[in-house]
């Protein structure tokens, strides 16, 4: 059976051109980058060229880019550093963050006594900016504001410039989980008031197990992982050499083809929304579909019934890959914390469809036809 893969917010396939760039570093260029002989120097050069390439794409300084194992490690590093090194005694986050952020801030609150506030989320899924201002204004301690750029389940986009300016006004540290947007949107970090952002290669056709943490050059923190001098004494452990090469290549390709791919993907998303409304009664959408929204994600609210309660299982046995929310909780009975925060309707079932450059209109038609049968 041919599969249709509509879960690209969870992970994407590896681009063949990315694999091609990685292969030499998986075979003949295998030296440890910390070694001083030619094999090691060759590997070190590969990493530093990758760092320059990533920094150029994000309009950052190479010294601000640190390679990690992915978004979870990057967010953990930034949040812990804000508390331990930058004097933040009050964390402001939202109830719809990825668990890499939520679990970290809750841990610091329960174990280290850090104050924790959650900004209100509007019914559209956007952050209540007036409430954020109020929380910052009323805090007696220095704050860390940690809010994601695009929600991985409903796709809502944060106005990073507006949040960053607000943080600047109240001398707060700003960390943004940008895992869903690095590789999907142009960044200009020299002109964005943010202290930390994150990225993960597997969200834009790069390899799994590699990510970045951007640390603004004016911020000084201590390492989160101890044990070696890698990443300019910031991240111990032998570097994921071929992963780093792959990350940089995938980001380069994503940037090069951004306009063409984003228009194609958004076209599929809006076409699917239109077709679902046409063929399935009472379908609605979670998040701000027609406003500030990630072009890769469509979160559909189906009317609840005996059939739709089994919808993910039935799609799977019909070769359709989609998700009930974040991939990290897709097998949990509790459902999605994001959907619970914005849609309390017990008579709806949420399914996230997420698209990439390789998907087609014909696939959308097949999925809609199958869903119409399954309802």
> What is the number of alpha carbons within 13 Å of residue 175 lying toward its C-beta?
33
Distance CA 94, CA 85 (A): 22
Please say if 143 is a catalytic residue. Answer: no
CA distance 161 to 168: 10
* Token pair of 142 as six digits: 């220095």
Residues 6+ apart with CB under 8 A from 373: none
Length of the chain as a residue count: 375
**CB-based contacts of 45, cutoff 8 Å, min separation 6:** none
Helix axes 16-26, 241-256, angle to 10 degrees: 150
The residue to which tokens 């603004």 are assigned? 216
DSSP 163-202: HHHHHHHTT-EEEE--TTTBTTB---GGGS--SEEEEEGG
Instruction: Order the strands of the 115-118 sheet from edge to edge.
Output: 65-68, 211-215, 196-200, 173-176, 143-146, 90-93, 115-118
Residues facing residue 301 across a β-bridge:
284, 350
In the chain, beta strands by DSSP E: 4-5, 65-68, 90-93, 115-118, 143-146, 173-176, 196-200, 211-215, 284-286, 297-303, 320-321, 348-354
Residues 143, 321, 328, 356: which is the catalytic one?
328
Distance CA 120, CA 76 (A): 23
Return the active site residues. Answer: 328
């Amino acid at each position: 059976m041919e599969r249709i893969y509509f879960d690209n917010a969870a992970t994407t396939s590896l681009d063949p051109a990315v694999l091609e760039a990685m292969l030499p570093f998986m075979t003949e260029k295998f030296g440890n980058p910390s070694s001083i002989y030619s094999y090691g120097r060759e590997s070190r050069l590969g990493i530093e060229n990758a760092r320059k390439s990533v920094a150029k794409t994000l309009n950052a300084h190479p010294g601000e880019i640190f390679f990690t194992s992915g978004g979870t490690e990057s967010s953990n590093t930034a949040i812990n550093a804000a508390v331990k090194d930058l004097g933040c005694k009050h964390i402001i986050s939202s109830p719809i963050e990825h668990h890499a952020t939520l679990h970290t801030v809750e841990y610091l609150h329960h174990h280290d006594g850090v104050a924790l506030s959650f900004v209100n989320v509007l019914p559209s899924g956007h952050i209540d900016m007036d409430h954020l201002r109020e929380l910052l204004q009323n805090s007696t301690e220095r704050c860390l504001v940690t809010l994601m750029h695009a929600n991985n389940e409903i796709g809502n986009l944060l106005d990073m410039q507006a949040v960053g300016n607000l943080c600047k006004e109240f001398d707060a540290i700003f960390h943004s989980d940008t895992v869903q947007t690095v590789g999907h949107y142009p960044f200009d970090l020299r002109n964005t008031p943010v202290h930390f952002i994150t990225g993960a290669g597997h969200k834009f056709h790069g390899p799994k197990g590699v990510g970045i943490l951007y640390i603004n050059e004016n911020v000084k923190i201590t390492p989160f992982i101890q044990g070696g001098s890698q990443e300019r004494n910031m991240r111990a452990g032998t570097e994921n050499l071929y992963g780093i090469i792959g990350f940089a290549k995938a980001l380069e390709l994503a940037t090069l083809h951004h306009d063409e791919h984003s228009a194609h993907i958004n076209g599929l998303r809006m076409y699917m929304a239109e077709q679902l409304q046409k063929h399935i009664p009472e379908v609605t959408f979670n998040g701000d579909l027609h406003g500030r929204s990630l072009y890769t994600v469509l979160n559909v609210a189906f009317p609840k019934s005996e059939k739709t309660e089994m919808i993910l299982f039935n799609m799977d046995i019909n070769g359709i890959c989609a998700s009930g929310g974040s991939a990290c909780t897709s097998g949990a009975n509790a459902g999605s914390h994001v959907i619970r925060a914005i849609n309390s309707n017990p008579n709806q079932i949420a399914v996230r469809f997420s698209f990439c450059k390789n998907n087609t209109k014909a696939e959308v038609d097949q999925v809609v036809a199958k869903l119409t049968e399954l309802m």
